[in-house]
């Protein structure tokens, strides 16, 4: 394929629904053509609870993305998240037949099959199975084993799975728009594609995408994905904590969080007050700024600690440190808290290597949807990842589009 | 039509306490028995039998029988059922002495190995010859244990099916689903043992404890009446808010019932609800209503309620039913998916209202000591209809009497338990059984004649490391969370995500914060970590901790 391809990434988040249209060029760069966001309703903790509301918001976002880019979207890469998503590493060993010493593609497939044959609950579905590395006769870190001589081939896999029902519901919700879902991607995996560069992955890094409802994380070690998952806590929880602590409506709490909120309360004099106003500008009351910040601090710290607990065993090997992204990573002082929790270098990052509509790609809020486009691009480059059926489908679609044109 | 079936005579008869005996054979049986011994849940004589003296010496049950002392010399059967059988033959007098004089004998065994597979048929034979009601609780080996063990298990099962009154069969493969994939293997086994122990406890309590609406052995046998069937068993216990539907949900979650999907095919379903003094009529009513959505109209529901102060604040729901192997087989193999769907979607107004109306009248009826045969007609329920009772009653007797009838023959001949005769007796027994059963007003006359063959049934399960129960499910459309909407839990309830969040954990969570503390997350799945509900504001939890 000589021409560049246009992809659309869709993330149905807890706070916003975001559609990003991007052009993946042959040289590996991405040009963002359009971004459409709409505040999200009917999503809690990354999971859709109200189809109708979500679909209305999704239509808004879609129109906003399509207009400037002048592209009609038919298929999207859908980012999913939620507390039900889990991951594990699995290794499958395959011994080559006696009369064969060179590893062929079939052997690799066989090893993959064994690695993927892990006991997940029947209600779960595989989202991703990412090859971490191949091991030939105990020799680690083999990228491409085909053609090598060996006796035993092992495939190391990182497998991400989630509840079938919930994943299908998200897909169903999008299909009713109607949009075809090209692939379902765990948002953290997508975001990591644009937040972490090759060096960061190689040195070992942890990316945490703290969004509205969930904190999704991916941990890389030696360039390989080592852990990933989702903590069902996010900015929404911070807002709720504020709302309940100050006894103010949720929306007001959200405004206070965004405009005034900070995780740092040590240096704030105890008598510094903050005025809370309602929509008409009437003063509802005054609160201590230190109190507000402490509430935020406690929750933020807890979110980070929950992530830490889940990848405790890898924390010591993060040379490149922790990367924070997602809307909540804009919170003032969150880097200090993260530094405190992880005792590693902390970087706040948006997505880096893209061009196009400005002001979006730097914003950490859009890491995941932009990452979806990058993911689509990678998927396209690494052809072996695609099943023959999909490849055929793609070819057919291409043919059809030519005919239509 | 839901038929209500009571038998006043048996109620009188059971007034003297029933004596129960639980026998564990082999390694698996022994460990279940250990669990029962530790729980002290059942009032029964516990007997453990094993060929291996070392295993036996670790057993906790009060009565231990070493099988084939002189033959085996205290060494296990080494996976050879022939040896196990021989060993049991040598010790048959001992076995008879231990289990004689009981009304019900439960045999717990793990099939596939040597001692269990070999000795169990012998013990069952002896148990039947004592005139007791024999229940068998057996586990089938894991598929990874290999074809050989599976064949041994099947062979043994075939022999056992003719020698027991009811068979509660657990597939180890399916038991794996009890625990989360991450759980330790020990936990998985403990949970499997627990489920088996639970089923034993439930069956024995149903039969023995008095209840407001009592269920007796007769009900149990009719629920398990398909002579070659597999038992579907579900048990759930819950406390706190919404405990009724929680308990039912847990009962339906039992892997043996497969989320209630297998109930669609049952003809007879035994439901037993027990609770402490706080059990209310409304709760019973709502449980039965919800259950009604899981069973088709034609199902004969045998319903029992008991108040047991021991249960305190909790409610327990027990579901027992059986499916014939033929039913399982044909359903798994042939039936198009559409066949099951209408059942699911069909509204069942007559039954629902009948069930709704039922408990009230029953409670009224109990003190009056009326004959309890009831028949729920269309929307209103008529008074006892003698015809139905007459049809059913002799049937029961016939079955019970003949349960012990053929045994004396076996006894009198005092066969040297040779293999051929063993088989022959089994065959004639079956023939008799069939001839007895034919006059029964069975809706499916084909079933008793065509004897289900295990061979048909097992390959399904081995080929794809799944049981054929899974095949039944696989055929049905995938996750039915939405489809079963009226009954299914809300989209993001705990049930879907964590099949085994322990009660304890849940309760901790509830204690930490009621719904009001969860704010806008109150209807979502709680994010539990370290016994805390993370949806409750951090500061709130911290404050509570500091207060303590």
pLDDT single digits (tens) A345-363: 898 887 665 666 555 567 8
pLDDT-wise least confident of A130-134, A353-357, B241-245: A353-357
To the nearest whole angstrom, how far is the Cα of B247 from the nearest Cα of chain A?
21
CB-CB contact of B46 with B63 (8 Å): yes
pLDDT at B27: 83
How would residue A300 be classed by pLDDT, with cut points 50, 70 and 90? very high
To the nearest whole angstrom, how far is the Cα of A176 from the nearest Cα of chain B?
16
Nearest-CA neighbor of A298 among B547, B535, B540, B538?
B538
Q: Residue B539: which of A83, A118, A241 has the nearest Cβ? A: A241
**Cβ within 8 Å, pair B496-A163:** yes
Q: Residue A240: which of B492, B519, B529 has the nearest Cβ? A: B519
Q: Residue B479: which of A83, A165, A241 has the nearest Cβ? A: A165
Which stretch, A125-134, A215-224, B37-46, has highest mean pLDDT?
A215-224
For residue A333, give both structure tokens: 């002082």
For residue A128, give both structure tokens: 């991703």
**Cβ within 8 Å, pair A295-B537:** yes
Q: Residue A245: which of B482, B535, B537 has the nearest Cβ? A: B537
To the nearest whole angstrom, how far is the Cα of A395 from the nearest Cα of chain B?
30
Nearest-CA neighbor of B99 among B70, B77, B76, B119?
B119
In the block, tokens 């063990």 appear at B149
Report the predicted TM-score, pTM, of the whole model to 2 decimal places: 0.56
Q: Would you say residue B231 has pLDDT above 50?
A: yes
pLDDT at A304: 92
Nearest-CA neighbor of B140 among B117, B119, B159?
B117
Chain B residue with Cα closest to A214: B527
Mean pLDDT for the stretch of residues B153-168:
80
How would residue B383 be classed by pLDDT, with cut points 50, 70 and 90? very low
Cβ neighbours of residue B394 closer than 8 Å, sequence gap 6 or more: none
ipTM of predicted assembly, 2 dp: 0.72
pLDDT at B514: 53
How distant, in Å, are the alpha carbons of A213, A230, A234, A321, B115 from that of A309? 19, 12, 16, 16, 46
pLDDT at B420: 44
Which stretch, A177-181, B167-171, B497-501, B513-517, has highest mean pLDDT?
A177-181
B chain contacts of residue A298, beta-carbon cutoff 8 Å: 538-539, 542
Give yes or no for a cis peptide into B9 (omega within 30° of 0).
no
Query: A357 or B125, which is more confident?
Result: B125
C-alpha torsion sign, points B142, B148, B154, B160: negative
What is the number of alpha carbons within 13 Å of residue B203 lying toward its C-beta?
A: 33
Considering only CA atoms, give the Rg of chain B: 24
**Cβ within 8 Å, pair A244-B540:** yes
Interior angle at CA B323, CA B321 and CA B326, nearest 5 = 170
**Do strands A180-186 and A75-80 pair parallel, antiparallel, or not at all (unpaired)?**
parallel
Q: Would you say residue B536 has pLDDT above 60?
A: yes
CB-CB contact of A74 with A177 (8 Å): no
How would residue A219 be classed by pLDDT, with cut points 50, 70 and 90? very high
CATH superfamily label, B18-208+405-453: Tubulin/FtsZ, GTPase domain (3.40.50.1440)
CB-CB contact of B284 with B359 (8 Å): yes
Numbered ranges of CATH 3.40.50.1440 in chain B? 18-208+405-453
Q: Would you say residue B475 has pLDDT above 70?
A: no
Which backbone phi and psi does B268 adopt, to 5 degrees? -130, 135
CB-CB contact of B110 with B26 (8 Å): yes
B chain contacts of residue A121, beta-carbon cutoff 8 Å: 177, 180-181, 499
> How far apart are the C-alpha atoms of A322 and A342, rounded to whole Å?
8
Which of B479, B499, B544 best tests the A interface by mutation, with the highest count of A CBs <10 A?
Answer: B479
Helix pair A235-246, B538-547: axis angle to 10 deg: 60
**Residue pairs spanning A and B at CB distance below 8 A:** 89
**Cβ within 8 Å, pair B525-A83:** yes
A chain contacts of residue B499, beta-carbon cutoff 8 Å: 121
Cβ neighbours of residue B52 closer than 8 Å, sequence gap 6 or more: B27, B74, B75, B76, B77, B115
Query: B71 or A202, which is more confident?
Result: A202
**Cβ within 8 Å, pair B481-A306:** no
pLDDT at A215: 92
In the block, tokens 């004897």 appear at B451
DSSP for A381-404 reads HSGGGS-HHHHHHHHHHHHHHHHH
How distant, in Å, are the alpha carbons of A8, A62, A386, B347 from that of A24? 10, 19, 17, 53
How would residue B440 be classed by pLDDT, with cut points 50, 70 and 90? very low
SS3 B398: helix
DSSP for B402-460 reads HHHSHHHHHHHHT----HHHHHHHHHHHHHHHHHHHTTS--S-THHHHS---HHHHHHH
Mean pLDDT for the stretch of residues B175-181:
61
> How far apart are the C-alpha atoms of B330 and B484, rounded to whole Å?
24
> How far apart are the C-alpha atoms of B213 and A31, rounded to whole Å?
73
Query: E strands, B215-314, where?
Result: 230-238, 268-275, 300-307
pLDDT-wise least confident of A76-80, A140-144, B41-45, B356-360: B356-360
Which stretch, B312-316, B448-452, B454-458, has highest mean pLDDT?
B312-316
To the nearest whole angstrom, how far is the Cα of B479 from the nearest Cα of chain A?
6
How would residue B3 be classed by pLDDT, with cut points 50, 70 and 90? low
**Cβ within 8 Å, pair A121-B499:** yes
**Do strands B268-275 and B300-307 pair parallel, antiparallel, or not at all (unpaired)?**
parallel
CATH superfamily label, B227-393+467-489: Tubulin/FtsZ, C-terminal domain (3.30.1330.20)
What is the number of alpha carbons within 13 Å of residue B452 lying toward its C-beta?
A: 24
β-sheet with B315-323: strand ranges across: B230-238, B315-323, B268-275, B300-307
Which of A14, A15, A216, A298 best tests the B interface by mutation, with the highest count of B CBs <10 A?
Answer: A298
Q: Would you say residue B272 has pLDDT above 80?
A: yes
Q: Residue A298: which of B481, B497, B539 has the nearest Cβ? A: B539
Q: Would you say residue A40 has pLDDT above 80?
A: yes
pLDDT at B486: 39
pLDDT at B63: 85
Q: Would you say residue B111 has pLDDT above 70?
A: yes
Q: What pLDDT, in 10s, does the model give residues B76-90?
A: 777 788 888 888 888
In B185-271, alpha helices (H):
185-208, 217-223, 243-253
**Cβ within 8 Å, pair B519-A244:** yes
Mean pLDDT for the stretch of residues B222-226:
66
Query: B440 or A267, which is more confident?
Result: A267
**Cβ within 8 Å, pair A250-B176:** no
pLDDT at A264: 86
Query: A190 or B175, which is more confident?
Result: A190
Query: A333 or B259, which is more confident?
Result: A333
B chain contacts of residue A299, beta-carbon cutoff 8 Å: 537-539
pLDDT at A387: 59
A chain contacts of residue B478, beta-carbon cutoff 8 Å: 164
pLDDT at B537: 84
pLDDT at B4: 60
SS3 B266: coil
What is the number of alpha carbons within 13 Å of residue B120 lying toward its C-beta?
A: 41
Domain ranges of chain A: 86-161, 198-347
pLDDT at B515: 58
Considering only CA atoms, give the Rg of chain A: 23
How would residue A186 be classed by pLDDT, with cut points 50, 70 and 90? very high
Mean predicted lDDT score pLDDT of chain A: 84
CA dihedral A296, A300, A306, A307 (to 10 degrees): 170
To the nearest whole angstrom, how far is the Cα of A231 from the nearest Cα of chain B?
8
CATH superfamily label, A198-347: ATPase, nucleotide binding domain (3.30.420.40)
Q: Would you say residue A237 has pLDDT above 80?
A: yes
Q: What pLDDT, in 10s, does the model give residues B329-361?
A: 444 333 333 333 333 333 333 333 333 333 333
- State which H helix or E strand residue B473 sits in: helix B468-475
Q: Would you say residue A217 has pLDDT above 90?
A: yes
Residues of A in CB contact (< 8 Å) with B are 44-45, 47, 49, 83-84, 118-123, 163-166, 168-169, 231-233, 236-237, 240-241, 243-245, 250, 294-295, 298-299, 301-302, 306, 309
To the nearest whole angstrom, how far is the Cα of B189 from the nearest Cα of chain A?
16
pLDDT at B180: 59
pLDDT at B252: 80
pLDDT at B448: 41
Interior angle at CA B220, CA B217 and CA B224, nearest 5 = 140
**Cβ within 8 Å, pair A237-B496:** no
Query: A284 or A263, which is more confident?
Result: A263
Domain A86-161 has CATH 3.30.1490.110: yes
In the block, tokens 């989630």 appear at A162
Query: A386 or B474, which is more confident?
Result: A386
B534 touches chain A (CB under 8 A): yes
Chain A residue with Cα closest to B519: A240
CB-CB contact of B179 with B190 (8 Å): no
Residues 497-526 of B with CB under 8 A from A: 497, 499, 517, 519-521, 523-525
pLDDT at B392: 40
**Share above pLDDT 70 across residues of chain B, in percent, rounded to a whole number:** 54
**Cβ within 8 Å, pair B529-A244:** no
Mean pLDDT for the stretch of residues B34-44:
76
In the block, tokens 């045969």 appear at B373
């Amino acid at each position: 394929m000589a021409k560049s391809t246009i992809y659309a990434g869709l993330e149905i988040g807890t706070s916003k629904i975001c559609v990003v249209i991007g052009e993946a060029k042959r040289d590996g760069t991405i040009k963002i053509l359009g971004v459409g966001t709409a505040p999200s309703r009917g999503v809690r903790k990354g999971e859709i609870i109200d189809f109708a509301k979500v679909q209305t918001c999704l239509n808004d976002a879609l129109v906003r993305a399509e207009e400037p880019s002048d592209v009609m979207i038919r298929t999207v890469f859908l980012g999913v998240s939620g507390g039900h998503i889990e991951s594990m590493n699995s290794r499958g060993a395959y011994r080559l037949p006696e009369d064969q010493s060179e590893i062929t593609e079939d052997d690799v497939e066989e090893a993959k099959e064994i690695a993927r044959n892990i006991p997940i609950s029947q209600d779960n579905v595989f989202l991703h199975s990412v090859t971490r590395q191949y091991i030939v006769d105990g020799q680690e870190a083999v990228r491409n084993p085909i053609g090598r001589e060996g006796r035993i081939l092992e495939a190391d896999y990182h497998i991400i799975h989630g509840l079938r029902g919930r994943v299908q519901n998200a897909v169903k919700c999008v299909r009713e728009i109607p949009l075809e879902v090209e692939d379902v991607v765990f948002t953290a995996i997508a975001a990591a594609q644009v937040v972490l560069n090759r060096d960061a992955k190689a040195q070992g890094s942890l990316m945490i995408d703290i969004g509205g409802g969930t904190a999704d994380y991916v941990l890389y070690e030696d360039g390989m994905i080592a852990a990933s998952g989702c903590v069902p806590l996010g900015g929404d929880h911070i807002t709720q904590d504020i709302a309940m602590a100050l006894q103010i409506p949720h929306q007001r709490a959200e405004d206070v969080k965004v405009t005034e909120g900070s995780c740092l309360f040590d240096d704030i004099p105890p008598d510094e007050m903050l005025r809370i106003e309602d929509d008409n500008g009437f003063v509802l009351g005054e609160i201590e700024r230190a109190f507000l910040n402490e509430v935020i601090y406690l929750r933020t710290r807890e979110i980070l600690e929950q992530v830490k607990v889940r990848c405790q065993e890898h924390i010591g090997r993060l040379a490149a440190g922790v990367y924070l992204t997602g809307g909540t990573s804009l919170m003032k002082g969150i880097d200090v808290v993260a530094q405190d929790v992880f005792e590693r270098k902390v970087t706040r990052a948006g997505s880096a290597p893209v061009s196009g509509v400005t002001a979006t790609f730097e914003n950490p809020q859009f890491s995941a949807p932009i990452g979806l486009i990058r993911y689509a691009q990678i998927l396209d480059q690494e052809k072996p990842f695609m099943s023959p059926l999909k490849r055929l489908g793609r070819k057919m679609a291409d043919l059809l589009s030519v005919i239509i044109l | 039509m839901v038929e209500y079936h009571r038998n006043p005579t048996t109620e009188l008869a059971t007034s003297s306490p029933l004596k129960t005996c639980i026998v564990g054979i082999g390694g698996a049986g022994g460990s279940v028995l250990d669990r029962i011994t530790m729980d002290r849940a059942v009032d029964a004589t516990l007997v453990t039998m094993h060929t291996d003296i070392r295993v036996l010496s670790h057993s906790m049950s009060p009565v231990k029988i070493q099988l084939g002392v002189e033959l085996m010399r205290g060494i296990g059967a080494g996976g050879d059922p022939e040896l196990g059988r021989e060993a049991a033959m040598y010790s048959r007098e001992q076995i008879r002495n231990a289990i004689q004089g009981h009304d019900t004998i439960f045999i717990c065994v793990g099939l596939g190995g040597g001692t269990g597979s070999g000795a169990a048929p012998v013990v069952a034979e002896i148990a039947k010859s004592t005139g007791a009601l024999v229940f068998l609780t057996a586990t089938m080996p894991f598929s990874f244990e290999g074809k050989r063990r599976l064949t041994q298990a099947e062979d043994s099962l075939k022999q056992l099916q003719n020698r027991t009154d009811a068979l509660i069969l657990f597939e180890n493969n399916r038991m794996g689903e009890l625990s989360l994939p991450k759980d330790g293997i020990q936990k998985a086994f403990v949970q499997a043992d627990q489920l088996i122990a639970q089923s034993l406890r439930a069956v024995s309590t149903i039969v023995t404890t008095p209840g407001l609406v009592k269920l007796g052995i007769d009900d149990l046998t009719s629920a398990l009446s398909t002579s070659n069937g597999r038992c579907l068993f579900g048990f759930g216990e819950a406390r706190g808010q919404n405990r009724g539907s929680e308990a039912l949900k847990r009962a339906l979650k039992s892997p043996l019932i497969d989320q209630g999907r297998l109930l669609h095919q049952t003809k007879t379903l035994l439901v037993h609800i027990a609770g402490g003094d706080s059990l209310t009529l409304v709760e019973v009513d709502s449980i039965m209503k919800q259950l009604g959505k899981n069973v088709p109209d034609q199902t004969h529901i045998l319903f029992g309620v008991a108040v047991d102060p021991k249960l305190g604040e909790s409610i327990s729901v027990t579901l027992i039913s059986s499916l014939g192997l033929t039913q399982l087989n044909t359903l798994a193999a042939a039936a198009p998916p559409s066949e099951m769907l209408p059942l699911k979607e069909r509204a069942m107004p007559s039954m629902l209202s009948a069930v709704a109306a039922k408990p009230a009248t029953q409670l009224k009826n109990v003190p009056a000591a009326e004959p309890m045969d009831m028949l729920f007609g269309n929307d209103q329920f008529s008074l006892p209809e003698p015809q139905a009772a007459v049809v059913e009653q002799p049937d029961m007797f016939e079955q019970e009497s003949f349960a012990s009838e053929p045994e004396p023959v076996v006894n009198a001949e005092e066969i040297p338990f040779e293999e051929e005769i063993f088989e022959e007796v089994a065959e004639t027994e079956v023939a008799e059984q069939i001839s007895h059963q034919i006059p029964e007003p069975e809706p499916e006359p084909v079933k008793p004649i065509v004897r289900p063959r295990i061979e048909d049934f097992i390959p399904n399960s081995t080929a794809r490391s799944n049981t054929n129960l899974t095949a039944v499910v696989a055929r049905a459309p995938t996750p039915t969370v939405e489809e079963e909407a009226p009954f299914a839990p809300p989209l993001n309830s705990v049930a879907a995500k964590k099949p085994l969040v322990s009660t304890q954990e849940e309760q901790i969570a509830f204690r930490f914060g009621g719904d009001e503390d969860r704010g806008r997350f109150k209807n979502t799945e709680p994010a539990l970590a370290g016994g805390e509900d993370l949806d409750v504001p951090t500061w709130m939890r911290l404050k509570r901790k500091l207060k303590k």
